[in-house]
Amino acid sequence: MGEPAVKIEESKVVADEGLNRGMERLTPEKIEKVIQSVLKSETGSRLKVYVDTCVHCGLCSEACHFYLSNEKNPSFSPAGKVKQTLWEMLKQKGKVSPEFIRRASEIASTECNLCRRCSMYCPFGIDIAYLMLVVRRICHKLGVTPQYIQSTAHSHSATMNQMWVKEDEWIDSLMWQEEEAREEFPNLRIPLDKEGADIFYSVIAPEPKFRAQLIYQAAAIMHKAGLDWTMPSTPGWDNSDMCMYTGDNEVMGRLKKAHFESAMKLRVKRIVMGECGHAFRSVYDMGNRWLTWRMPPVPVTHAIEFYAELFKAGKIKLAKKYEQPVTLHDPCNIVRGRGLHEMARYVVNETCEKFIEMEPNREHNFCCSAGGGVINCGPPFRNKRVEGNKVKAEQLFVAKSKGAKTVIAPCHNCHGGLEDIIHHYGLGMELKFLGDIIYECMEK
């Protein structure tokens, strides 16, 4: 595979109000000014090194699920996406058309999951996800961002959570789950605002909104493990961050400030977060660092690390092991981003009778195609997302043919993406979080 063809095939234009109306408001002057401003003021040696180092070899192509799933169409290769967006902006010194910006936004936001698999295939380790984020930042500054994810960014800014969950709805959800759980564990508490607790448990907004059973399960695990934990009643409880993906860095910083300051205000020792990948990227890398915290000011433990810790310490006892053969999907942000793959396998092996690896796996695993905010771009881009990950379906099918009936995906967005893939390709596999398995199998 060499450098992508110069002539890029016309893509089918997807109707999206955020992109279309955003584009209509652009002028060439504004585009040039914003591009120059972002390139001059917000990028530096990192961008220059990446741009100057790339030899256009195209080795990144084979890494990309969009490329592999679209008949190796070069326009979907990582280098091809950079070529269609940032390189052209650089080459033209910002003199590009509104239509170009619309297409650049669509490519950066809906055809790249920022999964960083391509960086491992690049001989120089160029972080192409960073280049796509620069494109998204430019498009944000130009007001051309897909409608659904922009709405999510608005929710973040107005409520400090990604799903327009109002302050009372959040607390009510916790109290509801506590009440439900007390029927099973009579003395269980979800302690709100407990100052000095060891653990501040944080989740993403889809949990109170759609997946409240995960809060129930987390509370059951905390309760049975006898841990000193709390959840905040005020904004800052949501660790998620779609602003990181729309390029609204200022709100990204504001969200992480609220999150960490909620934890610091309660004087907790650490934050344990639920099974989410992108939120981990935000609290552990991007959001904290935008605020100039080199590392999180309160240590962050991802659910996988937390579960592994509980099993190693013998704090959770199992009544049985999960019987159906399982396979494990390695989420990009906590595997390529943090190296939690062996820990995840330890937890899977502790809790499941039979574990079947999908291939490739660990840091080489294919992305779910939902990450990087792509699933948050909503229904207009659903087909492109699902059809753009045929390789994932094939990967799952092979695991299934070896006997795997359940896919464990310890990440919310991966769940959304894999659910669509399993359904679309008729794979007939069950999908679980690790927390689902632990709750189902633990002594109660």
Nearer to other proteins, 297 or 325 (CB): 297
What is the phi-psi region of residue 145: left when phi exceeds 0, alpha when psi lies from -120 to 50, beta otherwise? beta
Residues 336 and 442: their CA atoms lie apart, in Å, by 29
Give the nearest distance from C-beta 381 to other proteins in angstroms.
14
Among 99, 172, 184, 323, binds other proteins (CB under 8 A): 172
443 DSSP assignment: -
Residue among 71 and 183 whose Cβ is closer to other proteins: 183
Q: Which stretch binds other proteins (CB under 8 A): 93-101, 206-214, 232-240, 321-329?
A: 232-240
Position among 20, 36, 95, 143 found at the interface with other proteins (CB under 8 A): 143
Stretch that binds other proteins, among 191-199, 219-227, 339-347, 388-396 (CB under 8 A): 191-199
Whether residue 235 has a cis bond before it, omega within 30° of 0: no
Residue in 258, 169, 261, 271 with CA at minimum distance from that of residue 230 = 271
> From CA 374, how far away is CA 151, in angstroms rounded?
13
Among the listed ranges 119-127, 193-201, 367-375, 414-422, the one in contact with other proteins (CB under 8 A) is: 193-201
Which of 2, 28, 196, 339 binds other proteins (CB under 8 A)? It is 196
The residue from 164, 176, 346, 355 that contacts other proteins (CB under 8 A) is 164
Q: Is 294 in the site for other proteins (CB under 8 A)?
A: yes
User: Shortest distance, CB of residue 313 to other proteins, whole angstroms?
Assistant: 16
Q: Which is nearer to other proteins, 4 or 380 (CB)?
A: 380
Which residue type, as a one-letter code, is found at position 394?
E
291 binds other proteins (CB under 8 A): yes
Question: What is the edge-to-edge ordering of all strands in the sheet holding 430-432?
Answer: 326-328, 406-408, 430-432
176 is a site residue for other proteins (CB under 8 A): no
**Residues within window 243-262 making contact with other proteins, judged by CB under 8 A:** 248, 250, 253-254, 257
Burial class (CB in 10 A: 0-12, 13-18, 19+), 374: buried
The interface with other proteins within residues 6-25 (CB under 8 A) comprises 17-18, 21
For residue 154, the minimal CB distance to other proteins (Å) is: 5
Q: Does 240 bind other proteins (CB under 8 A)?
A: no
Contact between 55 and other proteins by CB under 8 A: the answer reads no
Closer CB to other proteins, residue 299 or residue 403? 299
* Cα 123 from Cα 119, distance rounded (Å): 8
Output the smallest distance, CB 124 to other proteins, in A: 25
Q: Which of 155, 217, 240, 351 binds other proteins (CB under 8 A)?
A: 155
The yes or no reply on residue 30 touching other proteins (CB under 8 A) is: no
| Nearest-angstrom CA–CA distance, 130 and 124 | 14
User: SS3 letters for 283-323?
Assistant: HHHHHHHHCCCCCCCCCEEEHHHHHHHHHHCCCCCECCCEC
User: Which of positions 333-392 make contact with other proteins (CB under 8 A)?
Assistant: none
40 binds other proteins (CB under 8 A): no
Compute how many other C-beta atoms are within 10 angstroms of the C-beta atom of residue 311: 18
CA 203 centroid distance within chain: 13
Sequence-distant (6+) residues with CB within 8 A of 396 are 327, 358, 407, 418, 421, 422, 425, 427, 429
Binding mask 103-142 for other proteins (x = CB under 8 A): -------------------------------------xx-
- Around Cβ 53, how many Cβ atoms within 10 Å? 12
233 is an interface residue for other proteins by CB under 8 A: yes
Query: Residue count at the site for other proteins (CB under 8 A)?
Result: 52
Identified binder of other proteins from the candidate list 158, 353, 359, 360, rule CB under 8 A: 158
Q: How many CA atoms lie within 13 A of 160 on its CB side?
A: 21
Q: Which two tokens stand for residue 173?
A: 């959800």
Residue 212: exposure state from Cβ atoms within 10 A (0-12, 13-18, ≥19): middle
Contact positions vs other proteins (CB under 8 A): 17-18, 21, 41-42, 140-141, 143, 147-148, 150-151, 154-155, 157-160, 164, 166-168, 171-172, 175, 187, 189, 191-196, 233-235, 248, 250, 253-254, 257, 264, 267, 269, 289, 291-295, 297, 299
